[in-house]
Structure 1
Amino acid sequence: MVYAYTAIGDSLTTGFGALPGNGFVPIYRRMAEGRLDSPVMPANLGVNGLTTGGLKQRLSTSKVYRAAVTDAQIITMSIGGNDLIKAARAAGPRPGAFQGLLSQALKDCKRNYSDIMGMLAQLKAGTRTPYIIRLVGLYNPYPQVDEATEWVRQFNRYAAGYSSIHVGFASIYHEFAGNERGLLFLDHIHPNGRGYRVIAGKLDALGYRGLR
């Protein structure tokens, strides 16, 4: 059997910050092929800078996205980091605005995430083909900022709550915390090749139960 793998999400899905072929999507695909002992055909629909709102819109209106999700047996999603980054940048040097902007961004992010998960479930409803959905958790791109740390922790707790027979959550927060120098690209925001290998390994460790 040939497994169709659709990757949706932001610049982590595109593999920004790593050499071609060294993002988590191609690494995870190779791992999945080894574990499943079958070819895995990828469709990478990642978009740099994509937010939860942007992904929700694409899943609502794009025939390409909707068909790719419907037809896939393996789906990965990395989303949410840009919601935090945009709120932090909007606050700029105004510390008084930081907490309010982050709080509103988290509320909007959770609502969008809920809508996204609902759309994924709807697109997969009635399918007779086994499938798995793997959610990539967030690390903290601003480890020196306490409010950002709490934002990421709350987001991860929320996203992990969608775990089910089909859905698995890959927690990467603790792997990156304190190891940013070794796992992040020069921009200190995106993973480097080592960081993407960590993400792929966490996805692979969730297993493939239900696909065979």
Structure 2
Amino acid sequence: MSSRFTKIYFITADTEESIQACLFDIAIDNGLGNPQDWRSGIHWLNTHEENWLIIMDNADDPRIPLRRYFPPCEHGNIIITSRNAELQNAVGQSLELWDMSPSEGLQLLVKHAVKGPLNKVQHKHAAQIAKELYYFPLALVQAGAYILKQNCLLTYSSRLKSQRRQLMERKLTQFRDKYQLSVYATWNLSWNMLSEKSQKLLEICSHLHHEKIPRQLFE
């Protein structure tokens, strides 16, 4: 794909702030020494008639006026990933992607969780874990990394249930669907294994844009 397009940019589209930060980075990456704001990125895309590609990822929030961040030009390409079905009315073409099949979900989990072939007992537990995570790719990858590190394929399911129960007892309101709860539960298991210093470092980074965090900031 990289040989087909002149430039490829990933834009985190879950908030307007993250979209604007990514557009600002586009301006910086293309030599605009003193860009005023995110509009400089839009200007560069609009004025450079190249076959660039923008991937707007996780554009799920219907309150974001996404078209505001489209360059007003005929050239270039934009791909949007979203769980907001209403966006079909804002784009030229759309394609609905279905969930992974059970066999695909199991294969993805095993790829990250185990080195070598599975025996029957391990296969049964892996299949159950994939089912409990609704075959969501991100949750499966995070669970697999945790299982590999902790060597806990046979006990992961019970740990996951315990983690979910703790999250539900907190009565957190941000979980809109099974996807968010599953991803957060698998991520939180890994978070709890980190040292206090590692957690503090990630907490600091969470206040920054996730790309190009300068080393000098910590030095």
Q: If the TM-score is normalised by the length of the shorter chain, which range does it land in?
A: under 0.3
Higher strand share: 1
TM-score by structure 1 length?
Answer: 0.27
TM-score by structure 2 length?
Answer: 0.27
From the CA coordinates, give the structure whose radius of gyration is larger. 2
